[in-house]
Homo-oligomer: A and B are copies of this chain.
Amino acid sequence: MPAFQFLPFSALLGTVGFLCVTFVSFWTQHWRGGFAWDRSAKVFNWHPVFMVTGLVVLYGAAVLVYRVPRSWTGPKLPWKLLHAALTLAVFVLVVLGLVAVFQYHGKSIANMYSLHSWLGLAAVLLCSCQWLMGFAAFLLPWSPAWLRLLYKPIHVFFGSTILALSMAASISGINEKLFFSLTNKTIPYERLPPEAWFANSLGMLILVFGLLVLWALATPAWKRPESELLEAQQPLLH
């Protein structure tokens, strides 16, 4: 039964995730001047694209790997490697997103002062720790079974927490960017030009995507059955 429910859910989630990536790319390409990797303002545009693609959409896919019903049977290692590879790709995109904003800021714009930046930094730091600790506990062969059992609920809890942080960071970042960009020199944000409608909708889409992932993570019927999990984690006890 969960297998049948999970498929249409995945199709819906994939569609919303695709829309998030398309919307953030179109926004920065069409209204914010497009992309470049130099010292111009265009380098900033990689920041929202990399962060939304990495820390929201790809991250959302990565945390749902063990909810795929096919992952419940057969060896667990390939799924672990897929989870690690996807979250590593998230980490690479996040680093590129950080480099983009720091390069754009340079020495003339202050870094790390807004609530948006605090939330984003917290998400990035937690995500990095999560990857390293997940790798050490669940992939290194000499990691003891008691450590895996102890650490797993913590890893799962922070998995949802990081997504909530990146949703809050993305939404406050889009809000902040629109106040910076849509001023009296162009059409003010408060007059709701097409760009404001479009980017506000992107914020709502990110919220919908994140809520769908959090809901899927919390749905008991979609969790990998606990008995199999214990088997895979404690082979020495059998």
Contacts and interface: CB of A to CB of B under 8 A. Distances in A.
A179 interface: yes
Interface of A: 109-110, 113-116, 118-119, 122, 157, 160-161, 164-165, 167-168, 171-172, 174-176, 178-179, 189-192, 196, 199-200, 203-204, 207, 210-211, 214-215, 218, 220
B113 A207 contact: no
A122 B116 CA distance: 21
B211 A164 contact: yes
B192 A115 contact: no
Nearest to A168: B171
Interface centre among A115, A161, A215, A218 (most CB of B within 10 A): A115
A189 to B, nearest CB: 6
Main secondary structure on chain A at its contact with chain B?
helix
Nearest to A210: B164
B119 A171 contact: yes
B211 A175 contact: no
Contacts of A179: 114, 176, 179
Nearest to A217: B218
A122 B211 CA distance: 14
Given A115-B203, A119-B207, A168-B171, 4 more contacts: A113-B190, A114-B200, A164-B167, A167-B168
A79 to B, nearest CB: 22
Contacts of A196: 113
Contacts of A167: 164, 168
B119 A189 contact: no
Given A119-B204, A168-B168, A203-B119, A113 B191 contact: yes
8 contacts: A110-B190, A115-B204, A119-B207, A164-B214, A165-B207, A171-B172, A172-B175, A175-B176
Given A110-B190, A196-B113, A207 B175 contact: no
B211 A115 contact: no
A193 B144 CA distance: 47
Interface centre among A114, A118, A191, A214 (most CB of B within 10 A): A114
